[in-house]
Structure 1
Amino acid sequence: MAQLLIVDDEAHVVDRFAATIDWAGHGVEQVYKAYSGPEALELLEQFSIEIVITDIKMPGMTGLELIAEIRSRWPRTKCVLLSGYSDFNYAKEAILYQTEDYLLKPVKEEDLLATVKRALDKLRSEWEEVISLQRLNYTLKENLPLLRANLLHELLQGRRWSESVLLGKMKTLGLPEFEGSTFDLMMIRLEEPFTERDPQDRYWIEYAIGNMAEELFGGRYAIWHTKDAHDYLVFVMAPKQGDGGRAEGAEEPLWFERTAASLQSAVSTYLRGRISILVGSRGSFPLEVPDLYNRSIAAFRRRIGSERELFTRLEDDPPPKEVRSLQSLYEPPTLVHLLEAARWDEIEEKLQAIFGAMDSEGSAAQEHVLEVYFTIASAYAYIAHKNGRALSALIGDDFDRMAEGEPFRSAGALKEWTLRALGRIRGDMEQEAKDTRTSLIRWIQGFVEEHMDRDVSLQTIADHVNRHPVYVSKIYKLETGENLSDYVNRVRMEKAEYLLKNTPDKIYEIAERVGYLRPHSFNHAFKKAFGMTPQEYRERHT
């Protein structure tokens, strides 16, 4: 749905077009009104307006001057000119400014709607071109390295997709070699003097190391790399098949290690800096990517630590201890992030995955009960405090166990507590949002009813309730099912109907009391709503 602006120094023209045409039925969601060029520019700076209908002859800034400004600042906005002057020179200037049409006053409603429809069709066509496959492919190619790195980073962190979704992402990014493949992992840490360089220099150093790795390993491996949260360069490499591909048998791991050592030496010689390298074991893609990565991080910490320019293998590290961390508890998106976004279905899915993993751990269950409890309790406290609430007020009796420091003795009891507390937090957050919106709607409606004889434009209402006009418009429609402009018109007509029936006020006085500057505009709007003029209505009902 588009947004439209009507501009004319004759207020009754603006008000009539805005109030009497069924814009929503013709693809226009919101209609804005301006009575001068500068006022129109203020609205254009605030709202994403797609179509502007403007008069040519206006004091101060003419319609052509307004369109020239729009062309320079918002070139996609479509403009339509109105004029009471049948002058070919204006038409020529309108063509030069690439207006969509040039309409002579008085404008028929059907002619104006036809012009707006053509403008909407043109906008749709232009955006379809923008999102065309050719343009997408070009954009994808330009951003391919970053998109590949981001996808690998998510895999390393444990993000899971269905096989078909991941395969589709990889094919889009030109990574088919990894489908159903084994892979080798290599991690690189930049050291002095690289760590002392500014961020831009480090970026080019990382880029150069990636190119060096491609030169050394590219004959045998498809290479995919990223920089992780620890500033390590992480390379996932899938062996290529066929001629020129990987060596068979026991020779292959030795070749990989020798080549990694060559990379370390080349960086020292040609980039004049030091790096430490860890070579991981072979895994199955993509299932074993997060586990092998996490083991490599731990090995890097234990075997290399703060030493410099070392080279090690994951196999040199002792086997993992009996108790492991629950990967599902920490893989993205985290519980805290899901709570912040109020993604309740995904929160429940994540919790079910966590407790499912606990069930499979057997003897380590008690260790994991504590690990899960502290993580979930921390997340619940965080979201409560971020929303300015005490957790005890949200979860009631379930807070007592936390306050008394009594950990749960079984995964089942912890699960019951977790889901029950989640339900209470969710209910409170949803009720708070509903109450906030309900109060806002009442505030808006009260303002409209009290200021019916003055300006009740969307901008004025938004200023009164201290919200952005787009937010006000969207929330009002979401909560009431009615456009705010339709509500304003309806209230005006209801009040006008009452005054016609119950007061001796003249028609022009009633028009002023319900916010119409000109009786002509009021008569037009009233007839559209009731099928008769205000005078005819009064005669029939009094």
Structure 2
Amino acid sequence: MDKYKVILVDDEAEVIDVIEQKIAWNELGFEVVGSATNGVKALELVEKTQPDVVITDIKMPYMDGLELSKRLNDDYRNIHIIIFTGFDEFEYAKEAVHLEIEEYMLKPINSDELTECLKRVKNSLDLEREEKLNVQKLENYFNDVLPILQTNLFVSLIEGRVDEEEYVKFVDSYKIDLKGPFYCCVVFHTSTHHVPENMEPLLLSMSVEREIKERIAKKFNCKEFIYLGNTVLIVELSSKEKMVEFTDICDKFCKWVNRVIGAVVTAGIGRVCDNILNINNSYEGAREAVSYRVLYGTNRAINIEEIAPNEQNMTLQSEDSKMHDLFKAIYLGDDKSIEDAVSKEIEKLHKNANTVSQYNLVIMEMVGAFYRFCANNFIDFNDFLGDINNPYERVPQMDESTLKNWLIKCSLGVSEKLKSVRNSKSRSLVNDAQNIVTDRYMEPDLSLDKVCSIMGVSNSYFSSVFKKEVGKSFVTYLTDYRMDIAAGLILDTNEKSYKIAEQVGYLDANYFSYVFKKKFGVSPSKYRNERLNK
């Protein structure tokens, strides 16, 4: 074990020499690392050598031993001090108890007394060292379990079980650095039904998690953890607009991990919130987004803000939340799921309603929930009632079979209307993009990223909608549009190819010729000659 370091301070050099020679420093567990003849020099030496013990005389020029002790107590609380004093100074020195002097010794110095004094000091130092080691062990243990403690807090946050007082108490202790001002939750779901040959599903999920840590969590201020078999990120954002960029990053990751590892991953992205205590709402939105992979496909990022803006804005009343599975099935548009959800609602109705009054009340609550669901999705529920003028009066009178058929019919009708609304929104988005191409095709920097930035949507969502509506990718559409314009200019003008290239957004004439030949099978000049000579 390292020896304790000692500095000797006395204005008489011979006194220092005698002390050094008469004490068995090494055997006592000490080593003298320096000496000084006054307090000023001693302070310089203390800063340089960082000793454990300072043995000093009181009477010295420039700075006496008591002033030195005061300075040491102010700046180096861990140093133990032993003071030598003459008989006439002893009482004076002892009165300075607030200086917390370890030992007082009368001159002339007796080697035996000093040896016993040093033994006592060493015992104190040993106890301090042991205590420090114990504290270090506790700190090491705390750091070992810190990731678990952090994960427990994050899980409590996304479950909505943490109040502001608890969060403030734990955020510093758990070394969590999430200052916002905005936050979002992302859920990465790895399919267990599409696993590469000779690989276990659990190993595949672990591999995906590792890549998420390396490629996303380390590059952004994210907190990553596993929950219910999925990898979850709590993301800090500087602005709401950053969510579009982050969605595209997650989308590229899903495609990359499928290509490289063979994992089928869907990233569900929840709504942005401005309070970490509301991250549970973002988490629920992220889970919902993952479930929409049946509509929008896997190996991609799905942002709930883009695909279901109105549904997620509605505030569910208690009876609405009870019908959440039915409304979710309606939104997803699967007929079988809708019929199953209706059957469960009817089953719960008959199981829980003990009186006719209760039964009628629940039926009316169900009707009200449908009105609210439709209103929040800009649909009029009255359009699906057929010849029923007052559903609050007529529906409670239906028998079980009639009620079930009526609910299924209404649910299917609402679901079809939602599909139509979504298609209308998709068509509007595509029209806006096509108008941008028409107006700005000649700009060299017009691209998928530029168009998405103009419209404020992620590449992932826009690309999916555009290809579904138009039958080709946006990049292909833009290229084809430019080439069609170029073909017209080639036939209607005498402009050189490089001039036409510039007019349709290509700064590199050679690349323009390459793209043109790829589409029409011939170079621009040959295209002109063949068409004009016919």
Fold shared per TM-score above 0.5: no
Give the structure-2-normalised TM-score.
0.37
Flag the structure with larger Rg: 2
Q: Which structure is higher in RCO with an 8 Å CA cutoff and minimum separation 6?
A: 1
Give the structure-1-normalised TM-score.
0.37
